[in-house]
Structure 1
């Protein structure tokens, strides 16, 4: 039967697919009904014939298909599909004898729309790809969501992808303070993805080796500026991008501007929980970046740089080194095919202050997004949904969601799967067909995709490099409410000072200026936030 089902996913003829699926699904549900009682949804086990009352309806014939179940769905993705239902939706509905009424929304509008739905009580039955972990935890705490950790016995295929060590990290970071997991995090196939990218041909022509200290970086930037006076040697996108120049060298968290990510355990301070933007390390990083700013070595408009402007810098020969995702080296290379001498590459090295090794950006073993199920789903409707999730995490289901149907959406060429419908990347594949990785990315796709291979190469190069220790801060509901009420004010002060210090509008070298800044942070609530994080650190 397994061999037949594997063939079903790749059969190009939908009529054959549908016919076989109907038979297989029918048999599978009959076998399931015969071999088990309660599936973990919390209801009572099925009565035996002797226990059933005389008024109970007669059992369904052995060859009857499971009844059609309907679900309201909101699906949040980067872009919208061309059709609704999508090709993927139709095949899943056919396979599991379900009907989904799906409202597709974009990531840009997702949080606002979903917040309104939950506030009004008009929330859906489930969301397959929710990308707002803080809200998931809040909705779970409020009782809106099914605790999926209570149903792991029905999700054995999903659990197989995680080592016990990885799963321990998942539960520490993704679960609520009540110990429940209200979404299924997607498996991360990589441990690192960010690195320095640079124009290797320019460095070679100038006789520069890639820098390993901030002093060497400064000297390299000065040499590039002398050779290319109209250049901005380092570019960035977004106001937080420029801080990546120095924070890893000073052994700070690279994603400090996102939510509560500025709170971390500092291995250089006896693992004390600190707020990165209030540390002496942060002050030193601002001094260094301010020096680059004054000498026109970074963008003058760094707070407002867009991805489009950043891209133009890279492809026009105006910028030559950046800290970003390593895959962006190939991105720039592909955009510069008319400039054959250009050679973008990523550097398998870290930059330090010269004192201690610099940090790398280490990633958790999971992505903090995945499906949620609301309290509107229970009994057989929950069982059917869990069956779908579990199949989606099986090797067959993983390939199905990542690549689609062989012969229709992808082909295997020289042993490697390739999109065959003209899709340039996974987002275009989703737009055309609805197929996109779900829970787990297909390993064969990872092994054959250029960007994924770069991620794995970066992961291998940096696997033994030091990084900010992972620390889970599981605040209670009351403490989280307090923290949420304070973090915006603290972050606003930190961001404003960060921009002004780099631009020289305030003198970060002046102790009085720095002390006044820290005092303002404390008055805005930093002292209380540190107390909350220190007592909840795991």
Structure 2
């Protein structure tokens, strides 16, 4: 999801099922209409005569008023399944679900699991049931069809646990590149400004806008995992992946060099100097590290925020500010140029084949329930299932126009914020749909993401443009637990000192202040983290 988007935007994206990612081979629909017809015939012959109730734990962004629970009806009609769901906010969900597992009351099914939450703990503790490869081939053929052999090999190696098994089903991203810079073109045109090409130009341009308008040029909150998510937008300008707060390590796309923990190294110093200037010049909101999404959304609605690296459509950005700024006009940067401090190496966000968002099943539940869930998941990733989770129910949320599904005027869409969301019909509340396990239906990207598809053609072919490489690590269970403990401490030290540098409590250009940071990082186990990560990288890539 992304961390840099605002809660309102994320809610729209997830509830509408706006997905990100990579589409290479095998993007044709994964099943034919005859497949679903056969499944329904089988159901009518008694396969699902027995009603099964399955407990579900769902992580949600916002509570939705359900008008008509279409998903519950679909589960009952197609699979004679009843999902007994408990919903928690995303901030509370990992802790709440861990507590349930530890007391023996954990959910039987999780539609939306993430490794950077508690999933790794659950795998290690034996709470989750592995998906065996023979089982995937037999029970989930539609799932395997969405991957090429090369893609699946990479995905499996990247997402398997230390015992070599897969405990959740990663989803396939469908757009290789979809994140680029946008800006308030109305203000840039009014003051005859060009979108900046370098960090120094960024400071100069945004200072001009702030001085002339009184607006805060960049408004974005941190989040519970790290307050630095608010400023990770600017990582790519300095050659870092924007997801480095999640990855911690990365591989340089040009030199292929592995960097185990670069945000506690001299490599990150220029970035911190830039962020310090952004803050001290009033170009960042002052309380970015602690502000809530409601606070930032209020500032944006007042007209603040004039640049964004985002996946949202410009019309969505305009909708946030239209009341305060009737003439607002957001636009993608022409030719999708990125500001960079190195003209010989511009990092853009290249999506991986997959994301760590996928369903998981509790260890120890009955084989009958497992089989029913696998049948449901195999249908959900089929052509029919993708259509249902992308657009909902024909006649209620969408209609067919010239063979293309089209949302009804009453529905919110990626280009129309107002209206009912799919979540109002019980669809995708827990992230099983788009944005989670299920890909968008074949017409969705062509309808709503044409510019992002264009990005995927234009950006990778530009001279000196490189997509960062997410490293594959192979850790033993013991080393994983050890690394988790060390990084919890080290990440806390990193966040503490980075915030001091950004907010001018310390000076990142001052050697004595920088030494304080490095000494604190060393005491927090930096050297051991680097060794564990480097050894795990070498093991994974030499095996």
Q: In the alignment, which of 307, 318, 326 is matched to residue 321 of structure 1? A: 307
- Give the conservation status (yes or no) of the 8 Å contact 2:203–2:277: no
CA distance in 1 between counterparts of 2:296 and 2:332 reads 17
CA distance in 2 between counterparts of 1:439 and 1:267 reads 28
CA distance in 1 between counterparts of 2:74 and 2:266 reads 56
What is the TM-score with the length of structure 2 in the denominator?
A: 0.81
1:385 lines up with 2:373 in the alignment? yes
Cα deviation 1:405-430 (Å, max 9, x = unaligned): 21123212455423338342598312
Shift of 1:283: 0.8
The residue that corresponds to 2:513 in the other structure is 513
1:25 lines up with 2:43 in the alignment? yes
CA distance in 2 between counterparts of 1:224 and 1:2 reads 54
CA distance in 2 between counterparts of 1:76 and 1:262 reads 27
The residue that corresponds to 1:493 in the other structure is 493
CA distance in 1 between counterparts of 2:253 and 2:395 reads 52
The residue that corresponds to 1:155 in the other structure is 140
1:167 lines up with 2:152 in the alignment? yes
Cα deviation 1:144-164 (Å, max 9, x = unaligned): 322213311121101111122
1:39-438 equivalence runs, <5 A: 64-78=46-60, 79-80=62-63, 82=65, 86-132=69-115, 135-150=118-133, 151-153=135-137, 154-228=139-213, 230-238=214-222, 239-244=227-232, 246-258=234-246, 261-266=247-252, 271-322=257-308, 324-327=309-312, 329-337=314-322, 339-347=325-333, 348-413=336-401, 415-420=403-408, 422-425=410-413, 428-435=421-428, 436-437=433-434
Query: Alpha carbons of 1:172 and 1:237: their partners in 2 closer, same or farther (altered >3 Å)?
Result: same
Query: Alpha carbons of 1:486 and 1:351: their partners in 2 closer, same or farther (altered >3 Å)?
Result: same
Query: Alpha carbons of 1:416 and 1:226: their partners in 2 closer, same or farther (altered >3 Å)?
Result: same
Shift of 1:2: 6.8
Query: Alpha carbons of 1:337 and 1:179: their partners in 2 closer, same or farther (altered >3 Å)?
Result: same
Q: What 5-or-longer segments of structure 2 have no aligned partner?
A: 1-30, 415-419
CA distance in 1 between counterparts of 2:372 and 2:256 reads 49
The residue that corresponds to 1:48 in the other structure is none
Q: Secondary structure at the match of 1:237?
A: coil
Q: Secondary structure at the match of 2:345?
A: coil
Cα deviation 1:217-254 (Å, max 9, x = unaligned): 233223323433x2223333224255345421211132
Q: Secondary structure at the match of 2:128?
A: coil
- Give the conservation status (yes or no) of the 8 Å contact 2:347–2:467: yes
Work out which structure has the larger RCO, using CA pairs closer than 8 Å and 6 or more positions apart in sequence: 2
Q: 473-482 or 285-294: which moved more?
A: 285-294
The residue that corresponds to 1:456 in the other structure is 453
- Give the conservation status (yes or no) of the 8 Å contact 1:71–1:99: yes
Query: Alpha carbons of 1:418 and 1:496: their partners in 2 closer, same or farther (altered >3 Å)?
Result: same
CA distance in 1 between counterparts of 2:284 and 2:33 reads 58
CA distance in 2 between counterparts of 1:359 and 1:434 reads 36
Query: Alpha carbons of 1:127 and 1:354: their partners in 2 closer, same or farther (altered >3 Å)?
Result: closer
- Give the conservation status (yes or no) of the 8 Å contact 1:446–1:453: no
The residue that corresponds to 1:447 in the other structure is 445
- Give the conservation status (yes or no) of the 8 Å contact 1:253–1:468: yes
- Give the conservation status (yes or no) of the 8 Å contact 1:398–1:440: yes
Cα deviation 1:115-140 (Å, max 9, x = unaligned): 01110111232222234555333323
Cα deviation 1:354-389 (Å, max 9, x = unaligned): 453221122222221111112223434322322221
CA distance in 2 between counterparts of 1:357 and 1:144 reads 44
Q: Secondary structure at the match of 1:406?
A: coil
- Give the conservation status (yes or no) of the 8 Å contact 1:314–1:332: no
Q: 126-135 or 500-509: which moved more?
A: 126-135
Query: Alpha carbons of 1:104 and 1:215: their partners in 2 closer, same or farther (altered >3 Å)?
Result: closer
What is the TM-score with the length of structure 1 in the denominator?
A: 0.81
Q: 352-361 or 478-487: which moved more?
A: 352-361
Q: Secondary structure at the match of 1:128?
A: strand
Q: Secondary structure at the match of 1:304?
A: coil
CA distance in 2 between counterparts of 1:227 and 1:364 reads 40
Query: Alpha carbons of 1:515 and 1:94: their partners in 2 closer, same or farther (altered >3 Å)?
Result: same
CA distance in 2 between counterparts of 1:331 and 1:195 reads 15
Q: Secondary structure at the match of 2:315?
A: helix
Q: What 5-or-longer segments of structure 1 have no aligned partner?
A: 9-19, 28-63
Cα deviation 1:178-199 (Å, max 9, x = unaligned): 2211111122122233322211
Query: Alpha carbons of 1:234 and 1:90: their partners in 2 closer, same or farther (altered >3 Å)?
Result: closer
Cα deviation 1:249-278 (Å, max 9, x = unaligned): 2111323334xx222234577613331212
Shift of 1:81: 5.6
Number of aligned pairs? 485
CA distance in 2 between counterparts of 1:295 and 1:462 reads 31
CA distance in 2 between counterparts of 1:466 and 1:195 reads 14
CA distance in 2 between counterparts of 1:357 and 1:4 reads 49
